[in-house]
Chain A
Amino acid sequence: DAKTTQPNSMESNEEEPVHLPCNHSTISGTDYIHWYRQLPSQGPEYVIHGLTSNVNNRMASLAIAEDRKSSTLILHRATLRDAAVYYCILRATGNQFYFGTGTSLTVIP
């Protein structure tokens, strides 16, 4: 199964943009890139996903490298409510989602 690599932790100042990187060098052509986040003491929640093109939604933007070997989740203005663990996952064939350890984002007031 294709794996992802993320930094263990990152910090951001409140109201500043945050760029969360993810490497997925073994991605295959049909793997979708999904991002989820987990707020403290809650289950993970969907953030955004994409295949090849950059994507925007009300929560975030997803920038996908041209070779698809990496992607970046962009939070345009970090708030204290964005403090969470962010997971980058590849949805591979068979509909199985394998989570790594994610990036713990700390937002500094």
Chain B
Amino acid sequence: NAGVTQTPKFQVLKTGQSMTLQCAQDMNHNSMYWYRQDPGMGLRLIYYSASEGTTDKGEVPNGYNVSRLNKREFSLRLESAAPSQTSVYFCASNFFPAESSGANVLTFGAGSRLTVL
């Protein structure tokens, strides 16, 4: 199984450019998440989607938009990139509510490294 797939793996943008990070999962999970991780820091939640058709803000949503395209896909868009958005972005998914607490655990993608010049 592929699990959670993120594209692209690397991207360099100039300030003001826009781009979309793509995320897809093949585990039939209903909930999906976007995190960012800055050097030497933990992960911070940007947005999450509890189910298809719903999205909610996390800790650091400013400067981002998201789209839950269908059950499998959850994209993160930077409309006007800024150097402060240079980071590694991780997508994750899980079941919620879950029949068992074990099914609730998060599965992460490999990450997308974004540099904004």
Contacts and interface: CB of A to CB of B under 8 A. Distances in A.
Contacts of A87: 42-43
A45 interface: yes
Contacts of A34: 105-106
Nearest to B40: A101
A87 B92 CA distance: 15
B42 A97 contact: no
A44 B102 contact: no
B33 interface: yes
Interface residues of A, number: 22
A43 B42 contact: no
B107 to A, nearest CB: 7
Given A44-B90, A98-B59, A91 B42 contact: no
A44 B101 contact: no
Contact of B48 (A45, A96, A102): A96
Interface in B37-59: 41-45, 48, 50, 58-59
B22 interface: no
A39 to B, nearest CB: 11
B12 interface: no
A95 B96 contact: yes
Nearest to A6: B42
7 contacts: A44-B43, A46-B106, A87-B43, A95-B48, A99-B42, A99-B43, A99-B45
Interface of A: 32, 34, 36, 42-46, 49, 51, 85, 87, 91, 94-102
Sorted nearest first, the 10 A-B pairs with minimum C-beta distance are: A43-B108, A95-B96, A99-B43, A99-B42, A101-B42, A46-B105, A44-B108, A43-B90, A100-B42, A43-B111
